[in-house]
Amino acid sequence: MPAISFQQVSKTYRSKSAHNEVRALSEVSMDIEPGEFFGLLGPNGAGKTTLISILAGLSQATSGRVLVHGHDVVTDYAAARRSLGIVPQELVFDPFFTVREALVIQSGYFGVRGNDAWIDELLHHLGLADKANANMRQLSGGMKRRVLVAQALVHRPPVIVLDEPTAGVDVELRQTLWHFIARLNKEGHTVLLTTHYLEEAEALCNRIAMLKQGRVVALDRTSALLAGTASTMLRFKMDAPLPASLAAQSRVTGRIVQIKAHDAHEVETVLGVLRAAGCQPEDLEIGRADLEDVFLDIMNGPEVKA
């Protein structure tokens, strides 16, 4: 039985003018197996948060079903929600309680009593032990996000959903969070992650789905997605414009240029074109393509038909 099953999930919104509908999701189907570390990627507006909102019961699909360990999120919502721990994008907190009180209250929502030992462990592993008695209003943004993670985990859910959990937070939190979440995953928890930090998804996720315009446009093991693109990338810095013959196959970010090259022959061809044009690349590197290269290839591909 899948940990999460999305079955032909569609979601449409009626515009304010009520003359037309906007389709946020279109027949999304995929299963996430127990114990997987699964990545859900896509640009802003692709439908990721809408899909998670449906999974969490915050929004209802126009059509299709979502199951969590076999429990329908609409008809069997209580059992489905007990199986989920969700870390939202937004910083949502109650300003009237301390960190520990917030976690005790969250435990009570799920009927969990005598949870002090697990709360202490969460506080320790998320670097919140010295903030346990601090009021939520006194915490920095990064500390508040750590509390959100602790609240999502306080009832020991078998399925953990992380919606942009490290957006705008410091490196220390990212490392602390991923170390702890990776441990929980090894212990059998299923993890569903959305992130714009593609290096995180590449390092952590066994399988990845990519959404574009509300549809699944890629779904495979991370290693297979990486193997399906150019195996070599030429990276360098340059101030001058690229020759026109290279511009179409390049990605330019400021002074940094990245050009696909499948093999050594293509690398030499690119360098020859640069020499012939009088270009002088700096800090030349030859490396493997990463998940960002795969993502951009897929997102810059043909538009998805509605």
User: Could you report the per-residue pLDDT of 173-226, keeping only the tens digit for each?
Assistant: 788 888 889 999 999 999 999 988 888 899 999 999 999 999 999 999 998 888
Q: Which residues contact 80 (CB under 8 A, 6 or more apart)?
A: 57, 67, 68, 69, 71, 72, 73
Query: Residue type at 52?
Result: I
User: Could you report the per-residue pLDDT of 154-173, keeping only the tens digit for each?
Assistant: 999 999 999 988 776 778 77
Task: Write the CA distances from 123 to 32, 49, 114, 126, 133, integer angstroms.
Answer: 29, 27, 16, 5, 11
User: Could you report the per-residue pLDDT of 48-67, keeping only the tens digit for each?
Assistant: 999 999 999 999 999 999 99
Report the percent of the chain where pLDDT is more than 90: 42
The answer on pLDDT for 304 being more than 60 is no
Residues 294 and 226: beta-carbon distance below 8 Å: yes
Structure tokens at 208: 């990845």
What pLDDT does residue 166 have?
79
pTM given for the model: 0.82
Residue 295 pLDDT level (bands cut at 50, 70, 90): confident
What is the rounded average pLDDT of the residues 29-38? 96
Three-state SS sequence of 263-305 = CHHHHHHHHHHHHHCCCCCEEEEEECCCHHHHHHHHHCCCCCC
Domains of the chain: 4-226 (3.40.50.300), 230-288 (3.30.70)
User: Could you report the per-residue pLDDT of 81-131, keeping only the tens digit for each?
Assistant: 999 999 988 777 778 889 999 999 999 988 888 899 999 999 998 888 888
Of residues 251 and 32, more confidence is placed in 32
